[in-house]
Amino acid sequence: MKIFIDTADLDEIREACSWGIVDGATTNPSLIKRAVDKRGGNVTMEKYIREILETVPGPVSLEVIATDAEGMVEQARLLHRKFSPYGEVVVKIPVNPSLDESGTRDFDGLKAIQTLKNEGIPTNATLIMTPEQALLAAKAGASYASPFAGRIDDYIRKRMGLRLGVDFQKGDYFDYGLVNALVRARLKDVMESKTGPLSELYSERDVREVLAKAQDNGICSGVDLVARIVRIYRNYGYKTQVIAASIRNARQVREVAEVGVDIATLPFNVIREMIRHPKTLEGMRRFTEDIVPSYRRLFK
């Protein structure tokens, strides 16, 4: 599994690259603005993006801001033309750029992706929340598809009635194994109070609500979302690479790695979390305490 760093902070990018584990980076306009502002206006946004591309040893995703197919294509061409001399530019295109329920622009992202593929400009289909969206992105020719695992975890928790900042924090692991166990227990309680044939039980509203509130249309968690997309792509040999995005903690990284995702894009703090364990720290302290003087002299 490749690791991309999900930040626009050059200090974080440089340090993470020095560890020898970074294969690329993903950014967005908000992250870049925040990083430029951190420099107090001493650098232009254009120069800052160049520095990111010159630092990262691999693809860097830059995002368009238009919401129509024609505008996204023009902006993608501009980003690719302006910044590809400095590194490997990938253009982030929202899989569905609609801003309302009218549906008039539902497919503009796919149109843009197809056009850019034909022009040889690599794309990252972003804001993917369902396997169905990921399937369409691959068929349109996206180079990468980014399912947002953490956001789906948050969405399911909110459907269950949990409150962000009160019942859970953004970086908390979503224990979908526990949720599944609770759902089975609740279903058992509900079913024991029911009588009648299976056809009636299947249609019972409170039976179906137990399941519906603990998932998103059959998706049990962000990791489940990533796993299903990986399976679909492998079933049909799509070349689109899956980037597990919106990753919130080290355990989530491990789980997307276990399902065989191509890439995980990780915030700086999550990468740091991956390397730490209290027993490793304890072991290092004991090792250093046990060094005998004769062995230490070997290094002088």
Active site residue 92: yes
**One of 47, 92, 139, 279 is an active-site residue; which one?**
92
Q: What is the mean pLDDT of the chain?
A: 95
Convert 104-173 into a string of H (helix), E (strand) and C (coil): CCCCHHHHHHHHHHHCCCCEEEEEECCHHHHHHHHHHCCCEEEEEHHHHHHHHHHHCCCCECCCECCCCC
User: Is residue 69 within 8 Å of 99, Cβ to Cβ?
Assistant: no
- pLDDT, tens digit, 9 for 90 and up, residues 173-187: 999 999 999 999 998
What values do phi and psi take at 65, rounded to 5?
-120, -10
268 CB-near residues (< 8 Å, 6+ apart): 5, 7, 9, 12, 15, 16
Q: Does the pLDDT of residue 20 top 80, yes or no?
A: yes
What average pLDDT does range 87-106 have in this prediction?
Answer: 96
The answer to whether residue 41 scores a pLDDT higher than 80 is no
Q: How confident is the model at residue 154 (pLDDT cuts 50, 70, 90)?
A: very high
Q: How far apart are CA 29 and CA 248, in angstroms?
A: 20
- Condensed to tens digits (0 to 9), the pLDDT of residues 254-270 reads 999 999 999 999 999 99
Task: Classify each residue of 107-122 as buried b or exposed e, where b means 16 or more C-beta atoms within 10 Å of its C-beta.
Answer: bbbbbbbbbbeeeebb
Q: Which of 240, 289, 228, 243 is nearest to 126 (CA)?
A: 243
pLDDT tens per residue across span 100-134 = 999 999 999 999 999 999 999 999 999 999 999 99
- What count of Cα atoms within 13 Å lies in the side-chain half-sphere of residue 183? 17
CA–CA separation, 45 and 33 (whole Å): 7
Q: Show the domains of the chain with their CATH numbers.
A: 2-162+218-282 (3.20.20.70)
The per-residue pLDDT for 33 is 87
26, 124 Cβ separation under 8 angstroms: yes
